[in-house]
């Protein structure tokens, strides 16, 4: 026994194939692109009985024309004796182009909704059939049926059956199961719309949906079922409750999204949705979608952050480049040694008690940059005029080493008399 035979024996079904060894029939790549939204909706609803969905493809205006042909026939011919097509067209020509009316009449006759009064050549009288009159009820109903309305219809039917004294548990169970399936599917569809931010559909759903009514109707149905079939259908009710909760969660998500940021709804519009909405939406819908945000000249928005920045600029204290104040001797400056003392100590160290000293030799031997630093400090000291002077005999001294040779100007440091405008300290005026 093969594995597939074993599975079949256990109740599993074989995958559907067109022949025993053939691959499964490939699915179409995408659904038919309809000209009219009503036809698309009706074809999707009737898809379970359709061989090819495209056969239903007609525009919304063509659907309206066909419906009006059926209505006109019923009005013009209450006894079913036949109406001349000329009379029919005259009545409707103001609303629809003649070729469209002829085309729709042919389609209705092919479908069996309208028939010739007598099978006679050149006979031009037509009359509405029973199926044609049914289409007057069903076509508008199918093409405009929304999820919420369908749910309420199903609830009414299930409620009526459950309340009926002749109701059988199996029938009520079947109703509960159908209701559960539809609820779950609608909830999943709603979740897809919310997750995909399909704005137009979100608004449509929000407009149609009334979760309070649905909740109360389901609670009413549960009460009836519990009252009459508590023992037999408790599990079915449990499953229905799970589906109902799932649907209501999605409804709440939708309403929360739409109410929380209603003003920003416009910027949710996906680029591929814009053209479809522009083509099909009514003015109120367009306004709801794009009001003041997406396309038109929205009023200027006062950005709170910009206001706070402006406030900060207006109230900040001006910080121009500060002008330095004249220094005043303080405790810190008093603690620092007088630079003149430092220079004087340096000079005394070099003089070592003598009145003058030739520094040329020191400049030739001290490591670089000490000679330059020393000369700079002594030049400052001489400039301070506090009893020291530098003189330059004018000779150049040179000391050669193995690799380099150093040249220095002859410099002599000596004591000198300080002038009267010399240093400010008392010592500065001392004569040496």
407 binds other proteins per the rule CB under 8 A: no
**Any contact of residue 318 with other proteins (CB under 8 A)?**
yes
Min separation Cβ 313 and other proteins, Å: 6
Nearer to other proteins, 133 or 257 (CB): 257
In the list 309, 339, 372, 392, the residue contacting other proteins (rule: CB under 8 A) is 309
**Least spacing, CB of residue 316 vs other proteins, in Å:** 9
| Radius of gyration of the chain measured on its C-alpha atoms | 52
Residue 262 binding other proteins, by CB under 8 A: yes
Among 349, 335, 197, smallest CA distance to 269 is for: 197
Question: Using omega within 30 degrees of 0 as the cis cutoff, is the peptide bond preceding 190 cis?
Answer: no
List the one residue out of 386, 387, 408, 391 whose CA is nearest residue 399: 408
Sign of the dihedral through C-alpha 421, 427, 431, 432: negative
Among 158, 224, 289, 411, binds other proteins (CB under 8 A): 289
Which residue, 10 or 302, is less far from other proteins as judged by CB? 302
Q: What are the CA-CA distances from residue 78 to residues 83, 93, 124, 127, 136 (Å)? A: 10, 21, 18, 10, 15
- In the complex, what is the shortest distance from the CB of residue 204 to other proteins, in angstroms, rounded to a whole number? 12
Binding to other proteins (CB under 8 A): which residues in 176-215?
197
| Residue 283 near other proteins by CB under 8 A | yes
Q: Which region among 24-32, 71-79, 138-146, 263-271 touches other proteins (by CB under 8 A)? A: 263-271
Interacting residue with other proteins among 46, 252, 287, 354 (CB under 8 A)? 287
β-strand pairing of 356-358 with 405-409: unpaired
CB contact at 8 A, 393 and 381:
no
Q: Could you tell me how many residues make up the chain?
A: 432
Edge-to-edge strand list for the sheet holding 356-358: 356-358, 412-415, 388-391
Single residue of 8, 106, 219, 310 touching other proteins by CB under 8 A: 310
Q: How far is CA 93 from CA 98, 114, 275, in A?
A: 6, 18, 31
Task: Point out which span in 60-68, 121-129, 242-250, 298-306 binds other proteins (CB under 8 A).
Answer: 298-306
Measured CA to CA, the distance from residue 101 to residue 371 in angstroms comes to 116
Size of residue set near other proteins by CB under 8 A: 35
Q: State yes or no: residue 255 binds other proteins (CB under 8 A).
A: no
Residue ranges in contact with other proteins by CB under 8 A: 197, 261-265, 267-268, 283-284, 287-289, 291-293, 296-304, 306-311, 313-315, 318
């Amino acid at each position: 026994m093969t594995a597939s035979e074993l599975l079949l024996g256990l109740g599993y079904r074989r995958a559907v194939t067109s022949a025993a060894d053939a691959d499964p029939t490939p699915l179409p790549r995408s659904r038919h692109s309809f000209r009219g939204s009503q036809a698309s909706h009706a074809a999707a609803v009737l898809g379970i009985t359709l061989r090819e969905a495209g056969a239903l493809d007609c525009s919304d205006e063509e659907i309206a024309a066909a419906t009006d042909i059926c209505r006109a026939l019923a009005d013009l011919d209450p006894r079913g004796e036949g109406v001349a097509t000329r009379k029919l067209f005259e009545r409707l020509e103001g609303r629809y182009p003649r070729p469209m009316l002829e085309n729709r009449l042919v389609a209705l006759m092919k479908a069996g909704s309208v028939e010739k009064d007598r099978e006679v050549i050149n006979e031009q009288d037509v009359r509405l059939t029973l199926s044609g009159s049914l289409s007057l009820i069903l076509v508008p109903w199918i093409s405009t049926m929304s999820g919420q309305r369908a749910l309420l219809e199903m609830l009414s039917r299930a409620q009526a059956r459950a309340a009926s004294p002749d109701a059988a548990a199996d029938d009520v169970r079947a109703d509960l199961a159908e209701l559960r399936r539809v609820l779950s599917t609608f909830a999943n569809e709603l979740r897809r719309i919310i997750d995909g931010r399909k704005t137009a559909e979100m608004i449509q759903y929000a407009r149609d949906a009334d979760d309070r009514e649905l909740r109360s109707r389901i609670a009413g149905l549960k009460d009836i079922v519990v009252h009459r079939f508590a023992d037999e259908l408790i599990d079915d009710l449990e499953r229905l409750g799970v589906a109902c909760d799932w649907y209501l969660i999605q409804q709440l998500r939708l309403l929360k999204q739409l109410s929380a940021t209603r003003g920003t709804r416009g910027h949710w519009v996906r680029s591929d949705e814009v053209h479809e909405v522009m083509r099909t939406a009514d003015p109120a819908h367009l306004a709801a979608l794009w009001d003041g945000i997406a396309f038109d000249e929205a009023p200027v928005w006062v950005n709170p952050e910009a206001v706070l920045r402006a406030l900060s600029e207006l109230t900040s204290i001006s910080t121009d480049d500060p002008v330095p104040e004249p220094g005043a001797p303080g405790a810190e400056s008093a603690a620092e040694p007088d630079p003149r003392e430092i220079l004087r100590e340096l000079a005394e160290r070099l003089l070592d008690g003598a009145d003058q000293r030739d520094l040329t030799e020191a400049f030739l031997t001290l490591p670089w940059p000490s000679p330059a630093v020393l000369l700079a400090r002594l030049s400052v000291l001489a400039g301070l005029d506090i009893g020291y002077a530098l003189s330059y005999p004018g000779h150049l001294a040179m000391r050669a080493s193995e690799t380099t040779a150093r040249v220095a100007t002859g410099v002599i440091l000596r004591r000198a008399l300080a002038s009267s405008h010399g240093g400010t300290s008392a010592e500065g005026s001392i004569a040496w």
